[in-house]
Chains A and B, each alone.
Chain A
Amino acid sequence: DVKVTQSSRYLVKRTGEKVFLECVQDMDHENMFWYRQDPGLGLRLIYFSYDVKMKEKGDIPEGYSVSREKKERFSLILESASTNQTSMYLCASSGAGIPGAFFGQGTRLTVV
């Protein structure tokens, strides 16, 4: 089974903090993605990566950065958390082998 694991299920951070969300996959997938999900706005792509050290902006990259130093790990970084970044964050991976994208369990981030 494909396993995508996000480091936290729930997270509460203060405005201005630097926040790291970690995602690890065990399928040797080339592609990894970060989405955020908000009521009424659906799932929106923040950043994605198709290889180690490679990254591309998605639809809403402002206020975020990413890091992919190893193939299995993709980190989302909130440089200075703000209340409008309170959301559900979902990580996914895809690649050769089992077709399709697979998601982690999600991280519900609250910025106070």
Chain B
Amino acid sequence: GIQVEQSPPDLILQEGANSTLRCNFSDSVNNLQWFHQNPWGQLINLFYIPSGTKQNGRLSATTVATERYSLLYISSSQTTDSGVYFCAVERRAAGNKLTFGGGTRVLVKP
């Protein structure tokens, strides 16, 4: 099956800093999503981004499908950005199910 790798596994930031999270995938995909898992365990949708660039406030994401990677940018980080960030890919040939990366655990210190 498809492999999804995220880096770095852990990230410690000072409040106000910028950061980039990376997601590599091993095969072509139809869709890619970024999620933030909050402290209570719920996965919150950040971006649906099979290709191109999108921005939502201090967060933005870019997917280069031909090179099989996606980047999530966090600018001016805040303590509320702490948590685990997951990317997940979907292949129609695999029945529309999502395959998740291992996640990046982010801690933003005040």
Contact = CB atoms under 8 A, between A and B. Distances in A.
Contacts of B43: 90, 92, 103, 106
Contacts of A94: 96
Given A99-B48, A103-B42, A105-B41, A48 B33 contact: no
B100 interface: yes
Interface residues of B, number: 21
Most buried by A among B33, B41, B48, B99: B41
B98 interface: yes
Contact-residue size bin, chain A (C-beta under 8 Å from the other chain)? 20 to 34
A100 B44 CA distance: 12
Query: From DSSP, what is the main secondary structure of chain A's interface residues?
Result: strand
A42 interface: yes
A101 B33 contact: yes
Contact of A43 (B40, B90, B95, B100): B100
Interface of A: 31, 33, 37, 42-43, 45, 48, 50, 56, 58, 88, 90, 92, 94, 99-106, 108
Interface of B: 31, 33, 35, 40-43, 45, 48, 86, 88, 90, 95-103
